Structure 1
Amino acid sequence: MAGSRFSVLRQFAESDWHGFLKGVEKEGLRVDRNGFIAQTPHPKALGSALTHPRITTDYSEALLELITPVCRTTSDLLTSLRQIHQFVQQNLGDEVFWAASMPSALDGDPSIPIAEYGTSNIGRLKHVYRQGLAVRYGRMMQSIAGAHYNLSLPDEFWRTWQAALGNQQKLKDFKSDQYFWLVRNFRRRSWLLMLLFGASPALDASFVANVSHNLSRFDDQSWFGEQATSLRMGDLGYHNNAQSSLNICFNELGTYTKTLHRAIHTPWPEYETIGNRRGDDFIQINTSVLQIENEYYSAVRPKRTTERGEKPIQALDARGVEYIEVRCLDLDPFSPVGVNASQIDFMDLFLLDCLLEDSPRIGDDECERLDDNYKDVVARGRDPELKLCRGGSRESMMNTANELLDQLEPLAELLDGWGDGTTYRSALADQRRKLEAPDLSGVPSAQVLAAMDSQRMGHREWTLAMSRQHQDALRQEGLDAEVLAEFQAMSEASLAEQRQMEEEDNEPFDQFLERYVQT
C-alpha cells in the first residue's frame, strides 16, 4: 500500500467516503437446444437492439449484451442484472443463453450471423463496422463472450480527494489524470485478475477446426489448455496484429486519444487491399488500422458516455474520463448471471488500491514486460512454478499474488470500518482461498476442468447443462408484475424509437458514412 495516498484516504471522515458507482455489461450467446449457435433473429420481445437501454447485441445477432444501470451497491447491481436475465430467459422460447465465454458449437464463419440494427444510418453503420471485423479477423473471434465491469467514483469523492492532495486543476482534468493513474497500476496487476477469475480453459472443437494450436485433447469434441486460465484472452481469442504498432500504455488522456485518432486515420495496406465495398455493399467503415475506437482491444479502457452522433474520443477530449471499463473478465459459468458478489466487491477493492498505489508512467520496456506477464498468466497461470517479471528480476507468481492480496488488507479494513461490515475482508478472503492449494485447484479455470471431468462431459455438453440449469432457476423465479411491465414497456419504446429514427433519416448512407469518417 502506498503510504502517502493511503494515509490521505485514512484521514477522510466516514461522511467523505461516498462509495463506488458500478455497472456490468454481460455478453452471452443464444444457442439452440443442441448447443449450436442460434440462427434466429434477435427476439422481438426483447425490443430493438439499436435503442434498448438494457438489452442489445454485440458482434453477432446471436450474441446478446445485457447492460445494468449505474448502481451504488453490489446488491443493487446484481438485482438489476438478475432481473434483465429473468426477462431475457422468459423470451428465449426453446433457445438457451450460453453460460461460458468460449462459444457453443459453430460451423465456421457462415454460422455466425452478423448483428442487424435496421435501416437508419446509425443502424447501418453498426452493421458495416461488424462486417469490417469479419473481413479483418474473421467471425470466429467475435463469437466469444465476456463480462465488462464499469467503475467510477462520484464527484463528491473527487472534490474531497482533490482538496486533500492540494491539486488546483479543473475537476475534469484532475479526474482524468487520476483515472489514468489507476489504469497504469491496473496494467501492472491485471494478470492477477486472470489468475483469480479466468474461467475459459477449454473450448469446443468446432472453434479450432482447421486452425493450428497447441491445446490438448479433453475428449472428441473438446480441447483445453494444460495450464491456461483464459483461452478467451489468449492467442485464440482477442488479438490483432495490426494494432501491435499502436503502443498504447495509458499514460495520459491526451496521448491516448491522439494515438487512437491517428490509428483511425492511418491506412493499413492489408485493409486497403480488401477495400471498403463489395459490389454495392459496404464491408468496412474505412481501411485504417482501426475503423472506430472500439476496435482497439485492451483489458481496460477509460470511458465517457457519448451523446448521439459523438465519437468516444471526442467525448473524452471534451469532458474527460467518466469511468473505467474492465474488459478482461471471463463469464463465471457457475453463476446464473455470469458474475458474483464476491468478485464485484473484490474488483472495487482492487481498483481503488490501484488509485492509491504509487503509479509512475509506463515506459516502452515496462509496457512490454507487463504484456508478457499478462500473456504468461493467461496461457500458463495454473502452473504454480510460473515466474513473472517484477522490476528487473523474475519472481514467483504465487508469492507475488499473495503479496498483492496482503497489500489489500488495510484498505479492506478501512472500507469495512466505514460500512460497518465485513464485505471487503470477506471478498479478499474468498480470493485467498483460491490460492491455498499448492496445485492451484481452487482457481475457476481449474474448477471448470474438474467439473467437466467429474461429470464426464466435454465443453459443449457441460456448458449446455449449466446453461439449462441457470435457465430453469431464473424462469422459476420469474419477475414481479411491475418489473415485468417495465421491461415490456422498454421493449415497445425501443422499437418505436428505432422506427422513428428510420422514418426521419433521409440522408443517403454513403454521404453519411463519408461525413462520419472525416470527423
Structure 2
Amino acid sequence: MTHTNNRLPARLDRLLSGDRQQLLCDGLKGIEKESLRVTHDGFIAQTPHPKELGSALTHPYITTDYSEALIELITPPFADVRETLDYLHHLHQFVYENLDREMLLGASMPCGIDGDDSIPIARYGSSNVGRMKHVYRHGLWHRYGRTMQAIAGIHFNYSVPTALWPVLQQLENSEHSLEQFTADGYFGLIRNFQRIGWIILYLFGESPAICKSFFKSRPGLMAQFEEFDRGTLYHPYATSLRMSDIGYKSRNQASLHVDYNSLDRYVASLSRAITTPYPEYETIGVKIDGEYRQLNSNILQIENEFYSTMRPKQIAMSGEKPTLALKRRGVRYVEMRSLDLDLFDPVGIDVDKARFIEALLLTCLVTDSPFNTEEDFAINNANQLAVANFGRKPGLELMRNGKKILLRDWAEEILDAMQPVCAVLDRESKDKPYSSALAGQGIPVQNPDRTPSARLLETMSLRKLPFARLAIDMSLEHDRYFRLNKLDETRTRQFQELAAQSIDKQKDIESKDRLTFDEFLQQYFAQR
C-alpha cells in the first residue's frame, strides 16, 4: 500500500480530477482513553469508581473498562480534532476534581499491582445488563488473567465524511447499494491498516519496559526479557510491549481468523467464534454453585473479546449484539486501538499525533485494498509483533508481498504515500498542520533513537529510575497540572448534571428489569 507522488491512487486521482477532494476533510474524530486510577504512592486504587463521576454503566463520557480502577474517558466525535482534544482535556479536569488522594497513571503498562487479586473487576450495578458486563470481565479473568486487562491505551475513532460516499460511488460507477459500497470502503480501509498499522507502534509506541510486578501472576514470561534494573524488565529494541504477546495479542486467539474481506464475512466469522465451544474454556465452567464464571464457554464470550488493532463499529441499541448492529445498519466508523498512552503528555495524546493518524486512515481509504488471505493475516500479525518487540533494531526487516523489506524503507514509502492526503487536509491553511505533522514523523523514521519508546528508556537511564518510579513521577506532574488548571464553573455544572442523570438512568434500568439473569442471557444470545 504505497506509491510515489507521480502515481496517485485511482480513488484519490478521481477526486482530484473532479475537484471533489475537499470531501475528504471534516471526518469525525473521537477518542477513548483508558487510565489506571492509582494512589499518589503508585498503587492501584482499591476504591470504587467515584460516585461524583456518575454511573459507569450509563454515563456517555466517563466509564470504566476492565477494572473498577481503569477509568475510560470518551469524547464525542468532532470534525476538528482540536475540539476532540479540548473535550478530552475537560474530562480530565473534571475527573481530577473528583479524585481523593488518587491520580491517573500516565503510562500504558500498569504499575503498583500485586498479582491478579489486586485488580478489582469493574461493577455496574444490579441490572441484567450491568451484571452481564461484570460476568464478562470475570470470564476474561479466568481465560487470560486480570493483569493483562489492566493495560491502558487510546482508541482513535474515525468516521469518513458521509458526503464522500455517494460521490465515490458515482465516480467509481459502483452497482452496489450505498450501504454496501460504504461498508466495502470501510473494510478496505481496515485491510490496508492491517498491512501498515505497525507504523503506529514504531512511531508512537511507548511501552518498551515493564514493572516486574506485572509478571507476578505469570512468572514464566519473565525469562523472555532482559533486566533493566531491579524492578524493571524490557526489550532493548521494543516499541510497544502493550501490543505484543504479553499484552493485547493473546496467544489464545492466535488461530482465530476473522474475515475482513466484507461486512457479511466479518459478521459470519465473528459470529462463529461466539457460538463455537472451546474445550479449554469448557473446563472452567459457566455457572458453578449458582455463580457465573463466564458468559459461556465458546471461543469468544462476546464480540469485544476479540483483540484486534481496528474494529468496524456501529452504535448498538440497548441490549443489541454489536454484530447485529453492523448487519442491520452497516459500518458507522472505525476504531483504531493500537495507540499507547504518551507518558509525557497530560492527556496522553497531542494534536500532531491525532492529525497524523487521521491522514494515515484516509490514505488507507483512498488506496486500493485487495482481499486478505489467511497467509496475509499471519504475515500482518508477524510484522506487528516484530515491530512491537524489536521495532528499533538496526536493519529490522518485515515481510511484504512475499519479500523482505527494511522497516525504514517501508516507513518512508508510507510517509510518502500520505503527502497528497495531507495536502488536501491542509486546504488553504498557511501553517499546513497536517503536512507539518507528517514531516515531524520523518525524524524517528530516520533515527530510531528519536522514537517515544527510545525516549522513555533514555529518560529512565538518565534519571536512574525504574519504569514504575518514572511513571509515578510523571503522573504526579500531570496531577499537579490538572489541579492547577481547574475546569470552569459552567463546564463543571454540565458534567455534574451528566453524572446525576447517569445515576438516575442506572436506577431506572434496574427498576425495569423483569427477566431473571439466566433468561436475559438466553434472550441476548438468541438474537438473530
Q: TM-score range by the shorter chain?
A: over 0.9
Letter in 1 for 2:140: L
Match of 1:263 among 258, 261, 273: 273
Deviations 1:321-343 (A, max 9, x none): 11010011111111111111111
Aligned residue for 1:192? 199
Deviation at 1:280, TM superposition (A): 1.5
Deviation at 1:510, TM superposition (A): 1.5
SS of the residue corresponding to residue 404 of structure 1 reads helix
Asked if the contact 1:18–1:157 (Cα under 8 Å) also holds between the matched residues in 2, the reply is: no
Asked if the contact 1:108–1:140 (Cα under 8 Å) also holds between the matched residues in 2, the reply is: yes
Q: Does 1:514 align with 2:522?
A: yes
Letter in 2 for 1:453: S
Aligned residue for 1:155? 162
Deviation at 1:351, TM superposition (A): 0.6
Deviation at 1:168, TM superposition (A): 3.2
Show the 5 A alignment for 1:327-406.
327-406=337-416
Deviation at 1:154, TM superposition (A): 2.3
Aligned residue for 1:9? 15
Q: Does 1:228 align with 2:238?
A: yes
Asked if the contact 1:246–1:259 (Cα under 8 Å) also holds between the matched residues in 2, the reply is: no
Aligned residue for 1:207? 214
Partner Cα distance (1:414, 1:53) in 2: 33
Deviations 1:91-129 (A, max 9, x none): 111001000000011111110000000000000000000
Partner Cα distance (1:421, 1:186) in 2: 28
Deviation at 1:73, TM superposition (A): 0.6
Deviations 1:154-211 (A, max 9, x none): 2212122222222232221111000001111101101111100111011111001323
Deviations 1:200-252 (A, max 9, x none): 01111100132333111111111111111011111111133342332124111
Aligned residue for 1:273? 283
Asked if the contact 2:25–2:424 (Cα under 8 Å) also holds between the matched residues in 1, the reply is: no
Deviation at 1:411, TM superposition (A): 2.1
Partner Cα distance (1:97, 1:15) in 2: 39
SS of the residue corresponding to residue 171 of structure 2 reads helix
Aligned residue for 1:448? 456
Partner Cα distance (1:243, 1:13) in 2: 42
SS of the residue corresponding to residue 220 of structure 2 reads coil
Match of 1:498 among 490, 506, 512: 506
Match of 1:292 among 302, 306, 315: 302
Asked if the contact 1:304–1:320 (Cα under 8 Å) also holds between the matched residues in 2, the reply is: yes
Partner Cα distance (1:305, 1:366) in 2: 29
Deviations 1:474-512 (A, max 9, x none): 121111111000000000100111111111213211211
Aligned residue for 1:245? 255
Partner Cα distance (1:442, 1:270) in 2: 43
Partner Cα distance (1:515, 1:483) in 2: 40
Partner Cα distance (1:419, 1:160) in 2: 25
Aligned residue for 2:116? 109
Partner Cα distance (1:373, 1:136) in 2: 26
Asked if the contact 2:111–2:211 (Cα under 8 Å) also holds between the matched residues in 1, the reply is: yes
Deviation at 1:32, TM superposition (A): 1.1
The size of the alignment, in residue pairs, is 517
Aligned residue for 1:39? 46
Partner Cα distance (1:280, 1:3) in 2: 58
Partner Cα distance (1:196, 1:83) in 2: 27
SS of the residue corresponding to residue 350 of structure 1 reads helix
Match of 2:482 among 457, 471, 474: 474
Deviation at 1:421, TM superposition (A): 4.3
Asked if the contact 1:32–1:96 (Cα under 8 Å) also holds between the matched residues in 2, the reply is: yes
* Cα pair distance change 1:212/1:15, threshold 3 Å: closer
Q: Say which is worse superposed, 216-225 or 459-468, in terms of deviation.
A: 216-225
Partner Cα distance (2:241, 2:387) in 1: 11
Partner Cα distance (1:177, 1:419) in 2: 32
Match of 1:87 among 75, 86, 94: 94
Specify every segment of 5 or more residues in structure 1 that has no aligned partner in the other structure, as ranges. Answer: none
* Cα pair distance change 1:265/1:386, threshold 3 Å: same
Match of 2:423 among 413, 421, 442: 413
Q: Does 1:435 align with 2:445?
A: yes
Partner Cα distance (2:402, 2:281) in 1: 39
Asked if the contact 1:384–1:397 (Cα under 8 Å) also holds between the matched residues in 2, the reply is: no
Letter in 1 for 2:281: Y
Aligned residue for 2:496? 488
Deviation at 1:260, TM superposition (A): 0.8
Aligned residue for 1:30? 37
Asked if the contact 1:18–1:154 (Cα under 8 Å) also holds between the matched residues in 2, the reply is: yes
Scaled by the length of structure 2, what TM-score is found? 0.96
Partner Cα distance (1:157, 1:89) in 2: 40
Partner Cα distance (1:47, 1:55) in 2: 8
Aligned residue for 2:148? 141
* Cα pair distance change 1:269/1:101, threshold 3 Å: same
Partner Cα distance (2:165, 2:479) in 1: 41
Specify every segment of 5 or more residues in structure 2 that has no aligned partner in the other structure, as ranges. Answer: none
* Cα pair distance change 1:436/1:306, threshold 3 Å: same
* Cα pair distance change 1:112/1:65, threshold 3 Å: same
* Cα pair distance change 1:419/1:306, threshold 3 Å: farther
